[in-house]
Structure 1
Amino acid sequence: MPKSQIPVLKQNRPKGNTSRKIVIILLLLFIALLAVLFFRSSVSRISAIEITGNVYTTTSELLEKSGLKKGDQFFGTSAAEVIERLKTIKAVSTVTVDKQFPGTILITVKEFPTVAYELDSSGVLKAILSNGTSLNVPPTIGVAVEKPILTQWKPDDPLKAKLSEKLAQIPNELTTDISEIIPTPTPSFPDQIRMYTKSQFEVITTVSLLTDKVEYLNQVIETERPGKITMLEADTYVPFIPDNPEDGAEPGASQ
């Protein structure tokens, strides 16, 4: 009697991998759907842009330069890109951008400090910033009386920018008495300037020597009568009214 063969039982294939793949695909589709819905919703868009710290630069100018608009995608522009755009404005020194979800962007601007003022050819008062930039003074902010006035300077004079940098390096208390600064270049001293003070002194010095000589200037102003102070290679002081008016001799210079 022939032997009967036992049929081979089919092995059950594991279904775990297939189920896991289906779950992953569904999850990815769900995430993609949420992303589409999010970026189409108002929550993903800029709802408010606040700009603070600007004095000479208008808010509208800063907003236009930033490239931001209400209704734009909140994540469409990085803070670094906005900072780089705003720093191309000459008056702007530093910028910080704080993106607060949902929808609010806070921009804080710091401009270069004001070191002096000048009247242009049409009589308009302009502020001179520490980087040499000249800007109209908005009528709403007024004028800092402790800052000097630059007169007789050409608009494109490169010494004006250097003078602005030097004034920015000097503490305010040392420049408060300076009322006017005029360029008086000579062959020996091409960057020579003449300054007048509120305490009625006349001062001759150079842009390059100003920061080194300002201490001497204030010592003379605090201790001597009004006169002429020369601060070049040597420092001298001569009073306008001699000690002995009846004596016609030239008064001696102090150093």
Structure 2
Amino acid sequence: MPNAQIPVLKQNRMKKRTSRKIAILLILLFIVLLAVLFFRSSLSRVSEIRFDGNVFSTREQLLNRSGLAIGDQYFGVSSSGISNKLREIQSIQQVTVDKQFPGVIAVHIKEYATVAYELQSDGSLRAILANGTSVGVGSSGIAVEKPILTKWKSDDPYKAKLCDALSRIPGEWTADISEIIPAPIPSFPDRIKMYTRSQFEVITTVSLLSSKISYLNQVLETEEPGLITMLEADSYVPFKQDTSEEPQEKDTTQ
């Protein structure tokens, strides 16, 4: 019986398969080597951290809260994780993290708007934000067109509601209000008294302020200084009245 021989074609196929496997293995090893070299190089590290939009929080505070540091693994930085950590700061409303390869982490911060300032017992001022948070003014200075809250207790539930109401009113409509004081009575527990830079005295409530502000500005623009009451009915009484006539109240109830 003649000796069995392996066909030449089959041998060639086996050699090609072996060569292909070796090539794939070499490529994989090369990729692994490149990955190791990359993650050991400076290109894989955070080289710059930028913050913008922060007024009431310092760079150091933001770095400590976020946990970011130069030299961190760039691909190990979680944008959502940083955002969640920074939004724990009461003055911060929104955070957007922009990762810019290679190595740059840009953090864009939106803080709650300042709606008023509060006079402290030592005479200093603190900024009151739209969410009711009180923060130190520091080097940011104050906006002179914002009202000052005086005689408010820190745990007064209407204080936060007032801040929310002020945040919903256009700034030009509250620019003339210089001071807001709580003045509750049994029938109106959220009653407030406001003083304006144009020498008006205003009585209203926190819950009515947003709906009454247009009437207030109408009176401020057209009348002499006086007492404006904006409760269930709106009224205006000028401070200076003609002594030869009986005092009359201008009732503008609508």
The residue aligned with 2:181 is: 182
What is the distance in 2 between the residues matched to 1:195 and 1:211? 14
Give yes or no for the alignment of 1:223 onto 2:222: yes
What is the distance in 1 between the residues matched to 2:160 and 2:42? 47
CA contact (8 A) 2:176 2:198 kept: yes
Shift of residue 187, structure 1, vs aligned partner: 1.2
Give yes or no for the alignment of 1:245 onto 2:243: yes
Give yes or no for the alignment of 1:68 onto 2:68: yes
What is the distance in 2 between the residues matched to 1:123 and 1:63? 32
The residue aligned with 1:6 is: 2
Matches within 5 A, 1:24-35: 24-35=24-35
CA contact (8 A) 1:124 1:136 kept: no
Shift of residue 133, structure 1, vs aligned partner: 0.7
The residue aligned with 1:204 is: 203
Residues 140-186 of structure 1, C-alpha deviations (whole Å, 9 max, x = no match):
32211100000000112121111111111111111011000001111
Shift of residue 100, structure 1, vs aligned partner: 1.2
Letter in 2 for 1:223: T
- Output the TM-score relative to the length of structure 2: 0.93
- Comparing 5-14 with 196-205, greater Cα deviation is found at 5-14
Aligned length: 248
CA contact (8 A) 1:132 1:164 kept: yes
Give yes or no for the alignment of 1:97 onto 2:97: yes
The residue aligned with 2:120 is: 120
CA contact (8 A) 2:235 2:249 kept: no
What is the distance in 2 between the residues matched to 1:10 and 1:75? 53
Letter in 1 for 2:3: P
Shift of residue 224, structure 1, vs aligned partner: 1.0
Letter in 1 for 2:164: E
CA contact (8 A) 2:177 2:196 kept: yes
What is the distance in 1 between the residues matched to 2:6 and 2:200? 111
CA contact (8 A) 1:182 1:194 kept: yes
What is the distance in 1 between the residues matched to 2:81 and 2:168? 31
- Comparing 117-126 with 229-238, greater Cα deviation is found at 117-126
Higher helix share: 2
What is the distance in 1 between the residues matched to 2:18 and 2:205? 84
Q: Unaligned 5+ residue runs, structure 1?
A: none
Cα RMSD of the aligned pairs, angstroms, is 1.3
Shift of residue 18, structure 1, vs aligned partner: 2.3
Shift of residue 19, structure 1, vs aligned partner: 2.1
What is the distance in 1 between the residues matched to 2:247 and 2:83? 61
Letter in 1 for 2:206: V
The residue aligned with 1:151 is: 150
Shift of residue 52, structure 1, vs aligned partner: 1.2
Q: Unaligned 5+ residue runs, structure 2?
A: none
Residues 208-230 of structure 1, C-alpha deviations (whole Å, 9 max, x = no match):
11010000001111111111111
Give yes or no for the alignment of 1:107 onto 2:104: no
What is the distance in 2 between the residues matched to 1:25 and 1:120? 72
What is the distance in 1 between the residues matched to 2:122 and 2:190? 26
The residue aligned with 1:52 is: 52
Letter in 1 for 2:179: E
- Output the TM-score relative to the length of structure 1: 0.93
Residues 70-89 of structure 1, C-alpha deviations (whole Å, 9 max, x = no match):
01111111212111111111
What is the distance in 2 between the residues matched to 1:204 and 1:252? 15
2:74 partner SS: coil
The residue aligned with 1:38 is: 38
Letter in 2 for 1:63: L
What is the distance in 1 between the residues matched to 2:113 and 2:128? 9
